[in-house]
Structure formats: structure tokens, C-alpha cells
Amino acid sequence: QVQLVESGGGLVQAGGSLRLACTASGITLSYYTVGWFRQAPGKEREGISCISNRDDNTDYRDSVKGRFTISRDKANNMVYLQMSNLMPEDTAVYFCASDSAWLSYCSLNYEAMYENWGQGTQVTVSS
């Protein structure tokens, strides 16, 4: 049974940092493309970062470029999302998701390609 669990969320002041972790069981995450998504209250879920399985190519939403970094921890079967210079508009529930297709790219927009999803972790940025 595949399970993804997000952790690392919390309350932080604007300008602060958090590191989210996506931990997998039932799969070896390094063989999967992983995406990070978020959903703010009253808004649709949006893709913010992803890393491909074939070449570890990454992609970022424009609003987080230069502030967020996605990376793999293959030894611990995890994917991290390092978030810096957080802003109140980053407040949302953050989800990780995995996709088994063997690709050199990843998608922030095509959620249907991601087969497994975590339950999410809340990130709240105060002004």
C-alpha cells in the first residue's frame, strides 16, 4: 500500500523559512516524479514545484522561484521542499504527490498524472 505523508508545516512569520518533507512508504520515491502542490482557503489547488524521476529535472511556479527548493533524500526515501522568505500569500495546505511515469520532465499543471497524494500539511505565514 502506497502512502505519502507530509510533515514540517507550521506557523512562521513573514520572511521566515520552513522545510517540508514528503515521506513515502510502499514505494521507492527516487523512482517517482514528485510534485508539491498547495491549496489556500477559497482557492484551487496549484502546483508549485516538482522533480522528475528520470533526470531529477525540476520546475517551479513563478511565484516561488528563487525562494523554494525541491530536493531528494534518497537514503531516507523522502523529498523536501525548502521554503525561504515566506510571505503571507504562501499560507496554504501543502500536498505532495507521486507519479510513476518515467519522464525527464514534471508537470505543475496536470494533476491527473499524479497517482498518489498525501493528506497535506498546513503552512501559515503571519505578517
Contacts of residue 96, defined as CB under 8 A and 6 or more positions apart, other chains included, come to 4, 6, 20, 22, 34, 35, 36, 37, 79, 81, 117, 118
pLDDT, tens digit, 9 for 90 and up, residues 34-89: 999 999 999 999 999 999 999 999 999 999 999 999 999 999 999 999 999 999 99
- Which residues are paired to 58 by β-bridges? 51
What does the pLDDT average to over 91-118?
95
Which of 60, 33, 62, 48 has its CA nearest to residue 91? 48
Residue linked to cell 520552513: 18
Residue 127: pLDDT band by 50, 70, 90 thresholds?
very high
The residue-averaged pLDDT of 18-42 equals 97
